[in-house]
Structure 1
């Protein structure tokens, strides 16, 4: 038990560290700024950050959410993504100690990044979606289930199902009903989960979307039937939920 907890704790720590980079990536990507070059700096005044200001989660608490130089509020996505990545690492490690847990954490971290970008900007960068797909197929070498063939079928089925839905329903409505990135994201998810559970992913994503819209309405938000919603975010949440369910209940596989 202690080894399992240590493994999960290690993945949680790694998630918090990676989350710092993923948050920067999610914030800078829509601005066409790189997160790979140069020192980390305040988004407002540009002052290079010191080592203590780069500690995941801890720095946000110490600085009380503000830059020590200019006093500008630090984008809360930094600590939220760090916390989310740490939670994903912990959950993945507890559910599946070993390579399956590492793969699940990578799946969750990439989904988290895409979800954060889509929630803020309503875009799903092709480069990140392609990375999710490629890592999913490569993970078959470490995690044999689902089979590689099922992953490949999942990629095709995932893309075509949402593409047809978007094309034909959009033609009926006379407007675009779904972004071009959503079919590609479901294809990438199929590279991880296989084709069998994709209907469950779609059902769960719709449920998450309805719940989100309902909460927004209760809070007084203006949400209508034709409002633009980040379906990629809902897909990302649903995909990790389904992965966790598959790991928690391996015997359920044949029923999907």
Structure 2
């Protein structure tokens, strides 16, 4: 059953991941992604269906618009690939109900990660939706897991705000945006007692990203690392990888 669901999840994940990435990119431009046909980000020409097939169209077009030859933002390809991976992982590791919720949360995180990578801002609405889905997934494991998740979220928010205050007082730079704090709290509702693992993985990924990116101001968008780490830890927790050690 899960194998069949995985084959179905492959194209569905690619399509929904494509939409999530587009929504994240358009949010940075003050545009919506719900109504209207797909358009080139550069020349705004309407794209035909053949140019919007997830992953395949990007590869066929060589990563550039067929009309103006402007580069297609790599966030589209990243979102489509991520959509495939998280949808298939969800249905392979979880029962269908929690799998759908986990995949939905993953798609929300794809949109948030793309938006943060482009603008260094995380949409509050996506963090709210992530919190609702994370709480629903925790509740699937039982009321105790939801309670632990609530405590983890409050503790996470308090600790991160204190750290921001310390950094701001000492260096004038809080180092972490409030959007990151909100997203971390939303994910902690799901990851519960495993939240420290989320920060360990996100921190390591952030260090690698900082080493590779070499931005002018020495800062990075932490949202993508946080989203990937939180979803991975949450999925492992939901699938019972931690056993009885973590509720």
Provide the residue aligned with 1:35 in structure 2.
33
Provide the residue aligned with 2:200 in structure 1.
203
Note the C-alpha offset of 1:133.
0.9
C-alpha change, 1:175 and 1:142, in structure 2 (3 Å) is: closer
C-alpha distance in 1 between matches for 2:215 and 2:40: 34
Provide the residue aligned with 2:66 in structure 1.
68
| TM-score calculated relative to the size of structure 2 | 0.89
C-alpha distance in 1 between matches for 2:242 and 2:74: 40
1:105 aligns with 2:97: no
Provide the residue aligned with 1:252 in structure 2.
243
- Size of the aligned set, in residue pairs, is 247
Provide the residue aligned with 1:193 in structure 2.
191
Regions of 4+ moved over 4 Å:
140-143
Note the C-alpha offset of 1:253.
4.2
Note the C-alpha offset of 1:172.
2.1
Matches within 5 A, 1:129-208: 129-140=127-138, 142-144=140-142, 147-194=145-192, 196-208=193-205
1:222 aligns with 2:220: no
| TM-score calculated relative to the size of structure 1 | 0.86
Specify which of 18, 21, 26 is matched with residue 20 of structure 1. 18
Provide the residue aligned with 2:233 in structure 1.
242
The answer as to whether partners of 1:162 and 1:183 remain within 8 angstroms in 2 is yes
Unaligned runs of 5+ in 1: none
C-alpha distance in 2 between matches for 1:170 and 1:179: 11
Which piece of structure 1 moves more, 83-92 or 205-214?
A: 205-214
C-alpha change, 1:251 and 1:209, in structure 2 (3 Å) is: closer
C-alpha distance in 1 between matches for 2:41 and 2:229: 31
Provide the residue aligned with 1:9 in structure 2.
7
The answer as to whether partners of 1:99 and 1:142 remain within 8 angstroms in 2 is no
C-alpha distance in 1 between matches for 2:146 and 2:234: 16
Note the C-alpha offset of 1:103.
2.1
> What RMSD over aligned residues (CA atoms) do the two structures have, in Å?
2.3
Find the residue that maps to 1:36 and give its secondary structure.
coil
Provide the residue aligned with 1:231 in structure 2.
222
C-alpha change, 1:151 and 1:222, in structure 2 (3 Å) is: closer
The answer as to whether partners of 1:122 and 1:230 remain within 8 angstroms in 2 is yes
